[in-house]
Structure 1
Amino acid sequence: MESKNRYVRYYDLDWIRVLAMLMVFLYHCSMFFNSFEWHIKNNIINHSYIEVFSLLVGNWIMPLFFVISGISTYHALNKRNSQSFMKERFLRLGLPLLLGIFLLSPPQVYIERVTNNQFDGSFLKFFPHYFDGLYLEMGGTGNFAFFGHHLWYLLMLLLFSVATLPFFIKLRKKVEHRVFGAFHYFFLPIPLLAVALTVNTIVNLASWGILFYLLLYVYGYFFFAKESLREFVRRIGVLSGCLSAITTVGYLLWVMFNGFPMHVSLNWVLFMILRVVLVWNVLFFILYLGDKFLNFSNGTLKYTSQASMPFYVLHQPIIIILGFFIYNLDWAVPVKVVFLVPLTFLMIMFLYHFIIRKVNLLRVLFGLKSVKKNEISKGIQPQA
């Protein structure tokens, strides 16, 4: 925020972003083992602890990212004008997205085609076919992943940034001094629910529609970035935690005993209400925990904040590639978990620490700022 014309950095948002990135990594590892549709599946499906973890995280993890992105946009526009903001957006989102589309997505599509018996041959033979049709869904026939597979978040954030910037600039002064209170807490979920009940199937990504994410991004900018919201979550934090726990238990029991409602009905409406209430309260509870316990900085935060974008860009391709080598092996699920999760993590961090962060071209391609050679040798990390 700006206080007496001085920008104040809230480190809890950086911690939340880093921890959320780690959660996305674990979530995508779980997708290899659970029963939900994904690019490659283990030969043994786990319907117990891994599936429960996937259900616990899958509802709120991407909504959290879009709210944090809206907050970050507010802070970014406090520090730079709209032209420099969009230049930074295109560099730090667009370049990693292009890297994902043309370098990291082809092996993922290839592995999906091979494991689903849609292609027989080497990756070199497949690569020319990567440009055959648009990849629109898992198990489909098009191959060109124009959204970068898991990097769809970068594409959506880039599009949202372009579409909302004039709106943000024009209306900001009219709302920035309004205080966040109980009215907002109870009223703002209503548009989210309306979107979830009507247009959630329009570009549905990670179980929520693009307009749902757009609304959360706008909320992040106009409401969640306010100092008054911090004061509000300190009062509402325990209640939101209790509501998060209740709705999460209700959601898990519903899915475990009744499955996902597939058609519009009263059950489907009630299920969507439950999900929206769950997401809304989890967002407040996470912000409450961050404000209470994570508003500090140290060397770990500085390092991991820089590593988070390369980590995000690399994590799914490496999970899928390693999964390809073990998916048909006769290993127990816990053994494969112990193999897949630590090895993927170590490979990503090795690539980041010893290669990406030390080569300016790679830094820029992975969404980082370039640095001088002496800064790299001294271990200096530029500010995000």
Structure 2
Amino acid sequence: MSAVIRRYDIDWVRVIAIGLLLVYHVAIGFQPWGMMIGFITTEKTWEALWIPMSMLNVWRIPLLFFVSGMGVYFAIQNRTWKQLLQERASRILLPFVFGAFCIVPLHLYLWQYHYHTSPAYLPNPGHLWFLGNIFVYVLVLSPLFFFLKNNPSNHLLIALKMSLSSPVGIVPVLVAFVAEALLVNPNPYTLYAMTWHGFFLGLLAFFFGFWFVWSGTFFWSMLLKWRWLFLSVATFLFALRLTYFQQVAPNYLLALESVFWIVSVLAFSYKYLNHPSKALTYLSQAAYPVYILHMAFLYLGSLLFFPMQIPAPGQFTLVLLFTASGCFLVYEFLIRRVNLLRPLFGLKRKELAPAFEKLKILKKV
């Protein structure tokens, strides 16, 4: 088996992206249109909050797909195709099915309660649509990924890796995302959940995430060298969208902005976050269960704090703290410690304690 180098920066990006997801979903409750996409909303709207959220919204979901593709690169280094599918079925498909039938109906019931609609049990992918997409991508792209893995000396593949040693190598990525935006023509661009746009954009991001890590130091050295350029372009495109287009920019510009934000995040994370820490060890394990649980606590927090006669920033802070605290408490004192629950939330079962293993052997004897 080949040794796999741990990329702590990629772990951090995944943790940060899920943290931003919590903030973003809480912010929707303060927008006047939040109810139309299934959120509980407050009467104390905070529309100015949407300015930073609109910057996040063009890249936060694509970034998670990029990181998921990167994870598959590391997963296949010491696995066969069959082992990869078995591992991804247990880590992705099982939590997806469990969540659709047991977690999502909880927050849908809270929504029904708040808006006085008839209560009904509604199994639904909900916010877990992301997991279903990833499992499909693994099925579709793993033959290609294993081909890339198993042909390290192929001259054409080496040339493809080397193409990412220059910023020009990013051009095919930009072209692919712009083409998807033009062909699918989503309205709005940021409507990812359970749409063909979300599916094809996620497929591209998943593939290029794998491709970036597979390209090795060619890509990462280039990112370090040109990180300020990528960040400057992303900032310029966001400023252009905010001022000239008044937030309603063409889809092709949103696709370009998204890619430049993503490569900027990857570059600065590689520069500053590629080192281990106890916080990362804990958070990287907690992130997946928190993602699965967060909507239930978000809706419950909305029910508790939105009726309070306090300013919108105060409500926002309370709902965010309640959502994060509730998720982490359930993770820490229930999911993390109960072996039966761990696989349902994407975690590996804990190995049996050595003493317990010895006891089983003695009984057999």
User: After TM superposition, is the score higher than 0.5?
Assistant: yes
Q: What amino acid is aligned across from residue 71 of structure 2 in structure 1?
A: S
**How far off its partner does 1:28 sit?**
0.9
The residue number in structure 1 matching 2:110 is 111
1:319 alignment partner in structure 2: 298
Counterparts of 2:146 and 2:70 in 1: how far apart (Å)?
Answer: 14
Q: In the TM superposition, what is the alpha-carbon distance from 1:224 to its structure 2 partner?
A: 4.2
List per-residue Cα deviations over 1:314-342 (Å, max 9, x = no partner): 11111012212333443321221121111
Q: Which residue of 2 aligns with 1:264?
A: none
Q: Deviations over 1:180-231 (max 9, x none)?
A: 1333212321121111111144995259531111011111112344221101
SS at match of 1:77: helix
Cα distance in structure 2, aligned partners of 1:36 and 1:221: 36
Which position in structure 1 is the counterpart of 2:242?
252
- After superposition, where does 1:238-317 map in structure 2 within 5 Å? 238-254=228-244, 257=246, 260=248, 271-317=250-296
Q: CA deviation at 1:107?
A: 2.3
In the alignment, structure 1 residue 343 sits paired with structure 2 residue 342: no
Structure 2 residue identity aligned to 1:158: F
Alignment partner, residue 44 of structure 1:
44
| Aligned-pair Cα RMSD in Å | 2.3
CA deviation map 1:242-275 (0-9, x unaligned): 11111122222356x3x53xxxxxxxxx621221
Change (3 A) 1:62 1:365: same
For 1:293 and 1:171, how far apart are their aligned partners in 2? 29
Q: Does 1:213 align with 2:202?
A: yes
Counterpart amino acid of residue 167 in structure 2:
A
- Measured in 1, the distance between the counterparts of 2:157 and 2:295 equals 38
Maintained 8 Å contact 2:185/2:251: no
Partner amino acid, structure 2, of 1:243: V
Q: How many residues of Structure 1 are paired with residues of Structure 2 in the alignment?
A: 338
Task: Summarize the alignment of residues 45-194 of structure 1 with structure 2, pairs less than 5 Å apart.
Answer: 45-48=45-48, 50-117=49-116, 119-120=117-118, 126=119, 129-130=120-121, 143-145=122-124, 147=125, 149-172=126-149, 173=151, 174=154, 176-177=157-158, 178-179=161-162, 180=164, 181-194=166-179
Contact 1:241 1:285 in 2 (8 A): yes
Map of 2:19 onto structure 1: 22
Per-residue deviation, 1:167: 2.6
Counterpart code for 1:160: Y
Cα distance, 1:69–1:176 mapped onto 2, change above 3 Å? farther
Partner amino acid for 1:357? Answer: R
Is the 1:96–1:365 contact (alpha carbons within 8 Å) kept by the matching residues of 2?
yes
Q: Please say if residues 11 and 295 of structure 1, whose CA atoms lie closer than 8 Å, have aligned partners that are also in contact.
A: yes
**Secondary structure class of the residue paired with 2:136:** helix
Check 1:200–1:374 CA distance in 2 against 1; reply closer, same or farther (3 A cut): farther
Q: 8 Å contact 1:55–1:252 — kept in the other structure?
A: no
> Deviation of residue 171 (structure 1)?
4.6
Residues in 2 aligned to 1:176 and 1:89: alpha-carbon distance in whole angstroms: 26
State the shift of 1:373 in Å: 5.6
1:89 is displaced (CA, Å) by 0.5
Instruction: Identify the residue that residue 9 of structure 1 maps to in structure 2.
Output: 6
Within 2, Cα distance between the matches of 1:329 and 1:231? Answer: 51
Q: In 1, are the aligned partners of 2:102 and 2:123 still within 8 Å (CA)?
A: no
2:174/2:259 contact within 8 Å kept:
yes
Unaligned runs of 5+ in 1: 121-125, 131-142, 261-269, 376-384
Aligned-partner Cα distance in 2 for 1:225–1:244:
24
Q: How has the CA–CA distance of structure 1 residues 322 and 371 changed in structure 2, closer, same or farther, with 3 Å as cutoff?
A: same
Instruction: Please say if residues 356 and 362 of structure 1, whose CA atoms lie closer than 8 Å, have aligned partners that are also in contact.
Output: yes
1:353 is aligned to 2:350: no
TM-score for both structures, normalised by structure 2:
0.86
Amino acid in structure 2 at the alignment position of 1:366: F
Name which of structure 1's ranges 201-210 and 287-296 shifts more when overlaid on structure 2: 201-210
Task: Report if the CA contact (8 A) 2:224-2:268 is conserved.
Answer: no
Q: Is the 8 A contact 1:13 1:68 kept in 2?
A: yes
Bigger mean CA deviation after superposition, 90-99 or 204-213: 204-213
Are 1:365 and 2:365 an aligned pair?
no
Distance 1:363 1:144, change over 3 A: closer
CA distance in 1 between partners of 2:251 and 2:141 (Å): 27
| 8 Å CA contact 1:70, 1:218 repeated in 2 | yes
- Distance, in Å, in 2 between the alignment partners of 1:374 and 1:18 is 29
CA contact (8 A) 1:199 1:209 kept: no
Identity %: 24
SS at match of 1:320: helix
Q: CA separation in 2, counterparts of 1:196 and 1:35?
A: 27
Shift in Å, 1:156: 0.6
Q: Which amino acid aligns with 1:205?
A: Y
